[in-house]
Amino acid sequence: MSKFYEKACRWVNEQTGMDHDELQSREDEEFEKFLEKKKELRKAESALKEAEIVKGKETKEYRKKRKEYEKSEESLEDAEKKYKREDFNRTMQFVDMDLTYEEVLIFSIFLAIAGFLAVLSTLGILIIISDIPLFQIIVFGVPALTVIPACVMLFAANYPEILESRMKASTIGKTPEMINYMTMSMRVKPSLHRAVIFSSKNVSEPLSSGLNQVIWEVYVEKRSSLEESFLAFALRWGEWNDNLKRSLYAVRASMLEKTDEGFKKSLERANDVIIDGTKQEVEDFTNSLRTPTTILFAIGVLLPLIIGAMLPMVSLAGLDVSGLNAAGSASSSENSPTLSLPLVVLLMNVVCPVGALLYSYRILGRRPGTRAPPTIEGTEKKRLHMIVSFSLMAGIALFISLFYTRLTFFQPIPFLLLGVVPLSYYLLATSLSKIKEREQIVEIEEEFPDALFQLGSRIAEGTSVERALSKTAETLEGSKTGELFNNIISRLQIKRLPMEEALFGEDGILTDFPSRNIKTTMKTVIQITEKDPEEAGKTIIKIANYQQDLQDMDHEVKNKLSKSVEMMKGTSLVFAPIIMGIVGSLYFMLEEVFSGLGMTGMISPAAFTSVLGVYLILMGGVITYFTKSIENKLDAIEFKYALGRTILISTAVFSVALIAGKVMIAGA
């Protein structure tokens, strides 16, 4: 998304004739102005001192020079703000965007104008082709012409800051992993330079770029030493994450310890500080989640349910809910209930889902990140599944066309299934194999700290690495980790390769292994075992304990956060579909009653029920996005699988409830 935003900014500025180099040259001009204002201030300062010495402070000449000095000082401050824009530049650096302030501003104005024209065009089309009263279009259209462009401009202008805030929150849960890699490296070889490089290669962005910058600043001689650059990194990131700063200080302090015991205690303190601090951050977020989740549940689920349930009752009362009528035209038909399909669609399928989505996006921006799940490379046959999806759609469409007259009782279920079944199939088919493969990798990661502890214990007793691996594999027989260790032993015995080549060579067992954590840990184990066996074993045990602490923290985070969303899951899958199904069947009955009495003005039952079905699909997507993001940040594979499952189940429950309601009403 950030790269798309950057490209869009560049494209808009190019179309408006504003070249990136030209804008950069403007920044250079602002720098020149800043230098000029600095010279002017120095001159004003010299003139003020001269007036003080020659004329004295109480003279008119001194007061005049004093005002000139203050004016020059203000001019310098303004020029400095325009030139430096430290907050903006710091944000651009953090989110890795190469944009100027003017480029972002021009892009925001362009989007605001585009939004205004889009709303204006929509209103014009509605006036020409729709039968919606002009007064209604004006009442709803004028605020839209103001609010929508303003919101678009504000979002576009502040998107880099929004992205920075979300990235910082996401980074909180990844910092324990970074510190863990640093301490692992330091235990192998007490070198801060080596620890920074090792950690930068194994953590995700933006931490990786931040650590690379530590090395780069020394390389280009911006900092005199690695230690100075490392402490600058700690201060820079410590502005918004004090726990990370303290933990990095502990890592640096370990290099100053003169005893081995002091060195190890400093590393332990670094891990303890970051893990405890991250747990506290998550707990604070969890405690603050109750009210926003309640509001989201009310806006996204309860409010549409109430609206959907009330509309038939409003129709029964003969009220006009087609919108606002102009004075003097309020007499649509005294005996005819009126429902406006555009208004119902606007409320149920646009306002409520979009409002819920935007609010969930805001809530999730503060969610502390957790360790990312293993990345599984795509092996699914997307083209084949796409063909099957279209085939399902064509088959359902053919079935509807052949038996349309016989499906009147079941309307609009076939049309909902026409969209839901192919979409759900594609989402499930393209994610199921990855989900299963990921579960196996996650199982190995869960077992790994225990396996590592056993391995370290045996090595500490003087057992060779191969023998220790073999014994550990026997102990873990039947588990995925035991199977992995057996594969390593087989490769070592059959091919007679060194350990590192057997694991990470061209055809190594772990070369393409999806778990970064296991690969990094095993690399460290190989390096450690080159040392004294007893010391190596103790270090491996300590690493196992760190790994277990990280896992415990991760589980605690997910357990605390998941408790806040269970009710929303159940509502989207069962409760809301049942309510909407009953409301739909009730509406069918009301339409028959009103038709028999010669009343008109109601939306057709099929159209109204379709609106309810579309609402369930959209709200299922919003709730799935929110719940999956709360539980495990937003992961594409899990989101696709959960979304496919949610919309299929909710549509099935809705269909059963609708049919059951119609049968019960018909039999009453």
**Residue 248 covered by a domain:** yes
Dist. CA 6–CA 289, nearest whole Å: 32
Dist. CA 457–CA 479, nearest whole Å: 19
Residues 573 and 616 in one domain: yes
Dist. CA 97–CA 413, nearest whole Å: 47
Residues 570 and 519 in one domain: no
Q: Mind giving me the DSSP string for 131-198?
A: -S-HHHHHHHHHHHHHHHHHHHHHHHHHHHHHHHHHHHHHHHTTHHHHHHHHHHHHHHS--HHHHHHH
Q: What is the pLDDT of residues 376-393, one digit of tens each?
A: 665 557 788 888 888 888
Give the containing element (helix H, strand E) for 321. Answer: strand 320-321
**Residue 330 covered by a domain:** no
Angle at which helix 480-495 crosses helix 465-475, to 10 degrees, equals 140
The number of residues making up the chain comes to 668
Residues 320 and 417 in one domain: yes
* Pair of tokens at residue 488: 């390593």
**Residue 34 covered by a domain:** yes
pTM score: 0.74
**Residue 91 covered by a domain:** no
Domain boundary among 26, 52, 84: 84
Residues 532 and 443 in one domain: yes
Q: What is the pLDDT of residues 190-241, one digit of tens each?
A: 888 988 998 888 887 788 888 888 898 888 878 888 888 889 888 888 888 8
- State the total domains in the chain: 5
CA distance readout (Å), 584 to 240, 464, 600:
51, 71, 18
Residues 7 and 55 in one domain: yes
Domain boundary among 149, 171, 193: 171
Domain boundary among 494, 515, 549: 549
Residues 167 and 177 in one domain: no
Dist. CA 403–CA 422, nearest whole Å: 20
Residues 514 and 459 in one domain: yes
**Residue 254 covered by a domain:** yes
Look at the alpha carbons of 255, 259, 260, 265 in this order and tell me if their dihedral is positive or negative. negative
Q: What is the pLDDT of residues 487-537, one digit of tens each?
A: 888 888 787 777 888 888 777 888 878 887 788 888 878 877 776 677 778
DSSP letter, residue 306: H
Closest to 113 (Cα-Cα) out of 26, 20, 15: 15
Q: What is the pLDDT of residues 122-151, one digit of tens each?
A: 888 878 877 667 777 787 788 888 888 898
Residues 448 and 399 in one domain: no
**Residue 97 covered by a domain:** no
If one counts every other C-beta atom within 10 angstroms of the C-beta of residue 399, the result is: 14
**Residue 58 covered by a domain:** yes
If one counts every other C-beta atom within 10 angstroms of the C-beta of residue 272, the result is: 15
Q: Could you give the percent of the chain with pLDDT greater than 90?
A: 2
Dist. CA 313–CA 388, nearest whole Å: 42
Location of structure tokens 């039952």: 605
Residues 20 and 68 in one domain: yes
Residues 580 and 640 in one domain: yes
Residues 446 and 520 in one domain: yes
Give the pLDDT mean for 655-662: 86
Domain, as residue range, for 542? 439-549
Q: In terms of C-beta distances under 8 Å and separation of at least 24 residues, what long-range contacts does 11-20 make, across chains too?
A: 12/106, 12/107, 12/110, 13/103, 13/106, 13/107, 16/106, 16/110, 18/102, 18/103, 18/106, 20/100, 20/103
**Residue 42 covered by a domain:** yes
Residues 568 and 419 in one domain: yes
Q: Could you give the percent of the chain with pLDDT greater than 70?
A: 83
Contact 245, 237 (CB under 8 A): yes
Location of structure tokens 């925001």: 108
Contact 20, 103 (CB under 8 A): yes
